[in-house]
Homo-oligomer: A and B are copies of this chain.
Amino acid sequence: MVLRSFLVRSKYRGLGPTLAGAGIGGVRYLQTVIPVNIKELFSHPPQLNSLVTARGHIKSIRHFKKVGFIDLSDGSHYRNMNVVLSSPDSTLSALNLKVGQSVSVTGQWVESKGAQKYEISYSPDDPNQELRIIGNVTESYPIQKKSHTLQFLRNVPTLRHRTSTLASVLRLRSFAETKLIEFFNAHNFIKVSPPIITSSDCEGAGEQFVVESNKKSSSAGVHPSFFGGKTYLTVSTQLHLEVLAASLNRVWTLTPCFRAEDSNTNRHLSEFWMLEAEYCYVDKLSELTDFTEDLIRYVTTSLVDQNQNSVSGASLDLLAARYKKEDKAALQRRWETILVPHRWPSVTYENAIGIINEHKPRGKADKALEWGDDISTEQEKWIAGEHFKSPVFITDYPASQKPFYMKRSEKYDPAKPTVACYDLLLPEIGELVGGSLREHNYEQLAQNMDLLHMNKEDMDWYLSTRIEGSVPHGGFGLGFERLISFLSALENVKDTIPFPRVPESCPC
């Protein structure tokens, strides 16, 4: 039978049980043979002493008198595949092996005394065994065995993810995305794709990128521009999410956002990914902060709890990428900060500046904060990291510091007008999340816009949702790179995204 033959020839053992668990039978779902990678050799070890083929880049070569070792990595797993050379002299001199080359080795699958349990033994005398170079390197191949600084690696954008640290961060990022999907599915949120190109400015901050076709529009000739008007890259998809929440009840997205801010810090990217969620019928700010906390706890718990003995764990992955014991300990302390055994504290802006004024040590030149002042990043890090020693929500900021769409605080004082919003501050990194209840009353929202001299006509589409079956709702946005930065303890967000975009830098 035709079908059967497809199933029989499947040698990819890893896949079967996983997808079977997802309820997929074998008849209408066929399985392809993909060349096995190093992760799969470790997770589904072949029979002892059988011949196996492994492929990857050479990470290191060690040459002793009677034995040699090659460490191979293909990036699929934090452990390298150890290849033991029984005749190191002849093998290494014949092939001129170098760090960075991609090679294929067919040898014997044997037990290892090392942490990886198994290794490949290669002997040039066995005609069934083979070691060959697939791709050579230049003399200046920059990724050598020694540990490189992250700053150095940013200068080799096409090769830096061959290091164990930066590969492990991308694997963590992928893991976190899966956990987000799980979390939002469990809460019956619909994942949506709001637009990247928009004619609106969500934050009203004006630091946007303009988008235009590289040709003049040819059609009709009426409009000089491709879309028939000025268009920008989105700074936040929130306004569109609000529209979709009103239709689908609960929505979320993980999508690129763009800010043309001329700042080059370790916390900013011109292009970054933002997780945004929006849902209906929420009327208490504490419900939104609880939900935000749940979300971040879920990702972190998954990272920490996953099978400690598994070969596929993202936490092991990260820990293995840290060479020093104290780095490993610091990483684990970070995760514990998230998982404190009580709800994260929540204080109002007014109380927060009180705490900062009272407790934060300050130099003689530093003035006390007055109501209405911005809390600086340094103060944010202090209140989370030093004062509360945990993530902390700051709520009810002055309306003047926040965008037009936020609802007034429940306890509203016209003398000190505040909005029902919150920032989540984390130790070490400061602001991670910003959220609020949204003003769903047409008149109030229009008044907010008038106060800021905003053009209501441009925002007609958004305002209209407040007169056609408007519903109370709220939501938040989370900078995904900042979350990965916190979880991986890489201080610079440039190291948490494959190709960072910042002012003066878009090399590829």
Contact = CB atoms under 8 A, between A and B. Distances in A.
B194 A342 contact: no
Nearest to A134: B471
A223 interface: yes
A421 B461 CA distance: 44
A29 B297 contact: yes
A231 to B, nearest CB: 5
A242 to B, nearest CB: 9
Nearest to A17: B186
A100 B27 CA distance: 45
Interface string A149-182: 0000000011101100001001101100110011
A506 B102 contact: no
Contacts of A208: 213-214
A355 B291 CA distance: 58
Contacts of A365: none
Interface string A99-137: 011100000000000000000000000000000001111
A93 to B, nearest CB: 20
A468 interface: yes
Contacts of A247: 75, 159, 161-162, 167, 170
B186 A15 contact: yes
Given A30-B294, A195-B271, A260 B498 contact: no
Contact of A305 (B25, B34, B101): B25
Contacts of A55: 280-281, 471
Interface string A13-50: 01100110011110111111111011110000000000
Interface stretch (A83-91, A196-204, A380-388, A423-431): A196-204
A56 B246 CA distance: 9
A137 B248 contact: no
A207 interface: yes
A343 interface: yes
A294 B31 contact: yes
Contacts of A19: 182-183, 186, 298
A448 interface: no
Contact of A217 (B173, B214, B503): B503
A261 to B, nearest CB: 9
A25 B301 CA distance: 9
Given A227-B505, A471-B135, A170 B209 contact: no
Nearest to A56: B249
Contacts of A24: 298, 301-302, 305
A378 interface: no
A11 B508 CA distance: 50
Interface in A287-327: 287, 290-291, 293-294, 297-298, 301-302, 304-306
A331 interface: no
A498 B195 contact: yes
B262 A218 contact: yes
B57 A469 contact: yes
A213 B212 CA distance: 11
Interface in A494-508: 497-499, 501, 503-508
A372 interface: no
B506 A228 contact: yes
Given A76-B250, A188-B40, A209 B193 contact: no
Given A37-B250, A226-B260, A23 B305 contact: yes
7 contacts: A14-B188, A29-B301, A37-B249, A137-B469, A162-B247, A173-B191, A195-B271
Q: Which 5 A-B pairs have the closest CB atoms?
A: A135-B470, A161-B247, A75-B248, A227-B506, A32-B290
